[in-house]
Amino acid sequence: MVFNKVMESDVEQLKRKLREKANSEKAKILSGFFKTGKGQYGEGDVFLGVTVPESRRVAKKYAGLKLEDVIRLLRSKIHEERLTALLMMVDKFQTKEGRGKVYRLYLQNTKYINNWDLADLSADKIVGAYLGDKPKTILYKLAKSKNVWERRIAILATFNFIKNNEFAETLKIAKILLNDEHDLIQKAVGWMLREVGKRDLETEEQFLKEYCKQMPRVML
């Protein structure tokens, strides 16, 4: 019981550190930037106004936090607390014994990875990195999800493969998402195709020649 209280104290200390760095003006700007209004994709999200570099410093300071407590933090209603939790998960994934556990917990908690910055800073570093030498079936399931963030995770996870000059999965998932109506998916697919082109322009151009007439303007 004492052990649990110590862990609880660490979590609360972390939260206080983030609140110490809160900035109401930044919070207001971020709330608008991440579309938190009624009916928008980030509806209901709560911001403190903490910058990503500040969140990284807090994540490093509390790097010893148990993974179970990091997941509790990930389930917070506060955006920066979820972001800090994901930064910590990325770091914990680097340990050999943590890879599988972090990957599984990540996929079990995608409902909390619910804005584009959260998906972008973690998908390739956890999901993509874990699946590098494994079957990619889960990515196709995510790509067909009704949840926009799971679809974004699917395409962003392939960034890890792109960095290793492996483009097949990116192109296959891009085809699945070709007619996606959400602009955040269109932007993500376009971004990944551009990253393919930076490394292999011919591969990108072949894809564009075949699909440019049917892909949304934002993606193109």
pLDDT band at 191 (very low <50, low <70, confident <90, very high): very high
Q: State whether residue 46 is helix, strand or coil.
A: strand
pLDDT exceeds 80 at position 216: yes
pLDDT band at 37 (very low <50, low <70, confident <90, very high): confident
pLDDT band at 6 (very low <50, low <70, confident <90, very high): very low
Query: Taking the CA of residue 90 as centre, how many other CA atoms within 13 Å lie in the half-sphere pointing to its CB?
Result: 19
pLDDT > 70 fraction of the chain, expressed in percent and rounded: 96
Q: Give me the DSSP letters along 98-139.
A: GHHHHHHHHHHTGGG--SHHHHHTTIIIIIIHHHTTS--HHH
Question: Which residues lie closer than 8 Å to 198 by C-beta, 6 or more apart?
Answer: none
Cα separation of 156 and 161, whole Å? 10
Query: Taking the CA of residue 193 as centre, how many other CA atoms within 13 Å lie in the half-sphere pointing to its CB?
Result: 25
pLDDT of residue 42: 87
